[in-house]
Amino acid sequence: MTNVTSTEVQQLLADYEISNSDIEKVRMYGKILIPKLPDYVKHFYEWLETQPEFVEHFSDPKALARAQSLQLSYWKAFFEANIDDEFIEHRRTVGEVHARIGLSLPVYFASVNKSLIIFSERLYDKSLSPQDYLACIQAITRLIHLDTAIVVETYSRLTNQKISEQSQALMEMSTPVTAIWKGILMLPIVGIIDSKRAQDIMNAMLSKIGETRSKVIIMDISGVAVVDTAVANHLIKITKATKLMGCECTISGVSPAIAQTIVGLGINVGEVQTTATLRDALEMAFSKTGVVLRRE
């Protein structure tokens, strides 16, 4: 019997139609394979050496030896087939390792396929009846599918998490709200403003306003590539949101071309304060906050 210890394990076994009979067949085949696992490692790495990723990940002898040792443990546990929480967690750990070292999924799938070929052909001693051999291979294939699904799910989750963290970092870099004076914030915007970026800009500005309790924020758009109806509406919404938090927003860097575009599109900017240059916006901000600059 398997060491089933949770509903999750039972569900996984059911999803991949792995019965107690299948597990016994894996163990039956394991009696043939486990003593031959060192030969498996030899055959497997003869193949892996032909792959481009070998040099990148396994050129160091110590790293190679460790990988081979872990692989022996991995397949030994596979053919012992004690499918419990510890077994599942170990497979998730393998997925984490693959994600962290950057081994690609196509290479992982190819390596699983190569392993199955080695197990079913090169290391098989033909000691089983044809019926038992077929049943064993079918059971092993089902369990490999379960294994692969767990590894890939973990790999994908960590990869997506890494991408999300990188996107967050890029968002923060692209919306650098900076306190340039007590009570005054500034945000230079460069590039294209779409709905997603507009929302990121608004979130960053409102968060900084709440954090610093600033009364004035300057949004410089001199580096914005295109100002159309959508962009103008995004800017208007942002200024209205800042006003609700008690902070006046001034849009600086309005060039003659941008001004003509806004007028030509018939966009009503309402009470939005604009200036042609950042210097004008700064002077306005200093005036509103009572800052007086004197030349020494």
| 8 A C-beta contact, residue 197 and residue 229 | no
Least confident interval from 1-10, 120-129, 192-201, 225-234 = 1-10
CA–CA separation, 223 and 220 (whole Å): 8
Domains of the chain by start residue, with CATH: 7-168 (1.10.490.10), 178-289 (3.30.750.24)
| 8 A C-beta contact, residue 262 and residue 229 | no
pLDDT tens-place string over residues 155-174: 888 777 777 666 555 555 55
Q: What is the pLDDT of residue 175?
A: 63
Comparing 18 with 234, which gets the higher pLDDT? 18
Maximum mean pLDDT: which of 49-53, 193-197, 206-210, 265-269: 206-210
Beta strand residue intervals within the chain, DSSP E: 178-181, 184-191, 216-224, 248-252, 273-274
Reported for 2-8, long-range contacts at CB under 8 A and 24+ positions apart, including other chains, are 2/81, 2/82, 2/83, 2/84, 3/82, 3/83, 3/84, 4/83, 4/84, 5/84, 5/85, 6/84, 6/85, 8/85, 8/88
Residue 75: name the closest of 124, 126, 29, 130 by CA.
29
Q: What is the pLDDT of residue 53?
A: 77
pLDDT tens-place string over residues 21-58: 999 999 999 999 999 999 999 999 999 888 887 777 77
Q: Quick check: pTM over 0.85?
A: no
pLDDT of 268 above 80: no
